[in-house]
Amino acid sequence: MVVKNLNGHAIPPCGCGSWLSHWRRCGKPSEAFSRRQSCSVVVCNNPIEQGGMVQKEVLEGMRALGMVGDASWYIVPLCRECNGRWGATLTVEDGCGLASARVEETCGVGVMGDPTTQGT
């Protein structure tokens, strides 16, 4: 799966404490990915250190097939290096278990507001 790394908020608007904790609580990774214990970026074997905020990316060839983008924001488990690549297009494991960054869809009502609507 191809995603774009977003420059998100360091602290989630929910009570999870961190985006990585939010992913651990609300993501649904495959069994194979759960055993992997490394960054969800396909070519990276660094340990998981952070929850990274991403959007699903639709590449040009996919548009030609009629596929459209997904404006939703998600959290995936990343190493510090990959999470620091803001704006980069990343290929992540399909089974990494995207967790919605919209807390009302996952762990409850946010305490600081919805990060996906800030600045709009």
Helix (H, G, I), strand (E, B) or coil at 98: coil
Higher pLDDT, 37 or 40: 40
Relative to beta strand 89-91, strand 74-78 is unpaired
pLDDT, mean of residues 48-55: 94
Number of residues written out for the chain: 120
Q: Within 13 A of 36's CA, how many CA atoms are on the CB side? A: 25
Integer Cα distance of 76 and 83 in angstroms = 9
Question: Which residue in 21, 19, 40, 18 sits closest to 29, CA to CA?
Answer: 40
Position 111 pLDDT exceeds 70:
no
Q: What is the pTM of this model?
A: 0.80
